[in-house]
Amino acid sequence: MVLNLVKMITMANLLSMFILMEVVAGGFRFGVDGLRMDYYIMSCPFAESIVKNTVNRALQDDPTLAAALVRMHFHDCFVEGCDGSILIDSTKDNTAEKDSPGNLSLRGYEVIDDAKEQLEDQCPGIVSCADIVAMAARDAIFWSRGPVYDIPKGRKDGRRSKIEDTINLPFPSFNTSELISAFGKRGFSAQEMVALSGAHTLGVARCSSFKNRLNNADANLDSDFAKTLSKTCSAGDNAEQPFDATQNTFDNFYFNALIRKSGVLFSDQVLYTTPRTRNIVYGYALNQAMFFFDFQQAMVKMGQVDVKEGSNGEVRQNCRKIN
């Protein structure tokens, strides 16, 4: 009887080990087929730490890059999906996404290049540029005291990057209906759109993107804040205005600014002036934890927009050009 019991325990242990091996080998699938939280655990186990350390070093030198890396991820996913197409350089035969007017102010490409170079040295041909962009945005948010969240990996890099595709990007002049439509085409609800707009708690806007509000005497713009914006614009179209008082800290101050009629962009302020989204803004202004939760959920979802998988994409050796 004792011998049989030992055999049963041994078999149970072997079965448990087999199940564990299946979990490790198969990974934790998430959403889109092929994307997994542990996608690189066997092929490039230090991928996440390499990206995180690279981002942290860059942000210690220049904290404003946090907003830039998050914005890069947005602009990548909204055009051709999250496939690293924003990173591709233009050639004599093709003008790429990064050279469209809406993308000329993007920064942080060197951070992605740095991480990619290290990853190619450690595990060549394994980690996609699209995944690096997504991880860098996540790590920039955490570095800026934002919510902690993980994202599934396994995106492939796209082979197309054309300036004409950037027409799909939301514009600073969009009203709420246009924003809801633009985000809705990518599967987001109005609430998710407002949560994602909260990324404007980081960074700045250039005068060229909001000066028309000053010329048209926007009734939804606080008069004192209008004077602040006018002073900013006195330095020219490239002069920068922070979206809120804590431009390098991820918090809910952005939503409080909207309630005070101190949203920088027209597309910011309309979120509060429009009845359909006003209560969402008000809720996030009162409850930062709720904003953080909804934001991280929406970011994970955004990172899966039109993902390239298998033969539909590649892993670029150099993020700035297709293989």
Query: Which residues are known to be catalytic?
Result: 75
- Residues paired with residue 240 on neighbouring β-strands, in sequence order: 206
Q: Tokens in use for 190?
A: 């109005």
- The single residue listed with the structure tokens 């599967």 is 187
Q: Would you list which residues are annotated within the binding site for Ca(2+)?
A: 76, 79, 81, 83, 85, 97, 201, 244, 246, 251
SS3 content of the chain, % helix, strand, coil (to 5): 55, 5, 40
Q: How far apart are CA 151 and CA 130, in angstroms?
A: 12
Cβ partners under 8 Å of residue 255, min gap 6: 198, 281, 282, 284, 285, 291
Q: Would you list which residues are annotated within the binding site?
A: 76, 79, 81, 83, 85, 97, 170, 200-201, 244, 246, 251
Q: Would you list which residues are annotated within the binding site for substrate?
A: 170
Burial per residue of 34-67, b for 16 or more beta-carbon CB atoms within 10 angstroms, e otherwise: bbbebbbbeebeebbebbbebbeebbeeebbbbb
Q: How far apart are CA 215 and CA 220, in angstroms?
A: 13
Q: Whose CA is closest to 44, among 151, 112, 122, 118?
A: 122
Q: Which parts of the chain fold into alpha helices (H)?
A: 2-26, 47-61, 65-77, 109-122, 129-143, 176-184, 190-197, 211-215, 223-233, 253-259, 266-273, 275-286, 288-302
- Residues paired with residue 153 on neighbouring β-strands, in sequence order: 36
Q: Would you list which residues are annotated within the binding site for heme b?
A: 200
DSSP code of residue 240: E
Q: Identify whether the C-beta of residue 232 lies closer than 8 Å to the C-beta of residue 240.
A: yes
For 240, phi and psi rounded to 5 degrees? Answer: -115, 140
